[in-house]
Amino acid sequence: MQTGGIRLFACTALAAATMTAGLAVPAHATPLAAPVVPKAAATKTTSAAPAVAAKVAYLLDTTTGRPLLAKQATKRVPIASLTKVMTAYVVLREAGLDDVVKINADDVRHAATNDATSASLRAGERLTVRDLLHGVMLPSGADASHALARVYGPGEAKFVAKMNAAARSLGLTGTRYTNTDGLPKPSGGYSTAQDQAKLAQVALGDPVLLGISSTRRYTVAASKVHRAHTWTNTNKLLGKTSGALGVKTGYTRAAGYCLTFAADRDGHRFVGVLLGDAKSERRFQTANRLLDWAGEQVTGTDTGGDGGTLSGDA
């Protein structure tokens, strides 16, 4: 079925194999077992897909491997701070959670001079990798990601090389990273909605990243080696959308408002990506409607949500 150029995919063996095969996870991770799919959860569509204003979109049922919706899903575009999902993934392959990293002036300056979001770190503070990963993923701290790359590259250039190597190993053929935070400089970084959904699927299979992604608020108590920090997740679906798991927000002028989101519903895990929305709040509203609609597809129950059509193609 196709409306306005959007493809709504039926579940095929080829699609399932494409989306589920060959996705590596960090060595410490325990991949989540796929829930049993109820017999009733076949291909019945109970309503039209909700309207999506974002330039690029993709929605996947990772339990069955069935793509539910695609809008320019393989188009290469900037993804802003969604980049930090790969940063966190690589750090967990290189570091121990209890390793301690000392923040220096360059880390703080990097966020400040680029007018980037930060975790409000100060030079001289010492925090664990566990703490800094929360600082990367919740407030989207460019200071925290810079510190981790500096230590575990070592240095930005070597760390970015590890990010691109990881992307190749995961089969993210439409992805190229140029930095650890998605900032416009250096330019040239890009990915696709389909690739970012694949990456999110892998990340959520890691219990550490799953725990961080789905944390609404994280507090670091003051100690002799660092100040107190409280970080709130920028993903507004958490605590408001049933089964929400995060994953990451992003924004730059070039990328627009971006969102990778996921939720567990009725024994299924849905992962979606929205790139290039012109309005911040709308990406969360759209994600919520898409998750409700996705739930209808596996239960065969129309919840009465807003229906709509999409434009563009995969």
Active site residues: 81, 84, 140
CA distance 213 to 248: 7
Assigned token pair, 243? 């089964």
Distance of CA 90 to the CA centre of its chain: 14
Q: How many CB atoms lie within 10 A of CB 279?
A: 13
50 upstream amide cis, omega within 30 of 0: no
What is the number of other CB atoms lying within 10 angstroms of the CB of residue 63?
Answer: 22
Six-digit token string for 155: 């240095």
Q: What is the rounded CA–CA span in Å between residue 106 and residue 261?
A: 31
Q: In sequence order, what are the residues at sequence separation of 6 or more whose Cβ sits closer than 8 angstroms to the Cβ of residue 113?
A: none
* β pairing state of 229-232 and 217-220: antiparallel
Biggest alpha carbon–alpha carbon distance for the chain? 61
Other CB atoms within 10 Å distance of the CB of residue 22 = 11
**Strand runs (DSSP E) across 253-302, as ranges?**
256-265, 268-277
> CA 140, CA 151: separation in Å to the nearest integer?
18
d(CA 67, CA 152): 35
- Measured between alpha carbons, how far is 125 from 118 in angstroms, rounded to an integer? 14
DSSP state of 278: S
What's the token pair of residue 38?
Answer: 């109820």
